[in-house]
Amino acid sequence: EVQLVESGGGLVQPGGSLRLSCAASGFNFSIYSMSWVRRAPGKGLEWVANIKQDENEKSYVDSVKGRFTISRDNAKNSLYLQMNNLRGEDTAVYYCARDAGESGHYTSNLWGQGTLVTVSS
């Protein structure tokens, strides 16, 4: 079955760290660009970060630059998001998403169920 399964969410204090993981199965993970997208409670979707197939190119939304790091392990069919110096506004459901597209223009056509990150003291 083609799927993405996130893990690693939970409750963390402001200033703390978490590492999210996303396990891919049922498709050739190594040939796809991948993204993280989040949805804060009562708010809309926000694209967070993207990583190209060979990990050479990474992009981030300004609000997480310098705090979050996206990475992947193609041998393990896994995507990661290291989140440091977490803030209350980072509280959200984080989705792992597979990208589809061309030449730097990507939509996301496969999504995981999401993992909840709550930043609170």
Q: Is 45 in the site for other proteins (CB under 8 A)?
A: yes
Cβ-contact 35, 49 below 8 angstroms:
yes
Q: Is 1 in the site for other proteins (CB under 8 A)?
A: no
Name the nearest CA neighbour of 113 among 15, 37, 17, 32.
37
Residues 88-107 that bind other proteins (CB under 8 A): 95, 100-107
Residues 53-92 that bind other proteins (CB under 8 A): 59-62
Which listed residue (69, 78, 91, 111) binds other proteins by CB under 8 A?
111
Name the nearest CA neighbour of 109 among 8, 37, 6, 20.
37
**Total binding residues toward other proteins, as defined by CB under 8 A:** 27
Name the nearest CA neighbour of 40 among 88, 114, 86, 93.
93
Task: List residues binding other proteins (CB under 8 A).
Answer: 35, 37, 39, 44-47, 50, 59-62, 95, 100-109, 111-114
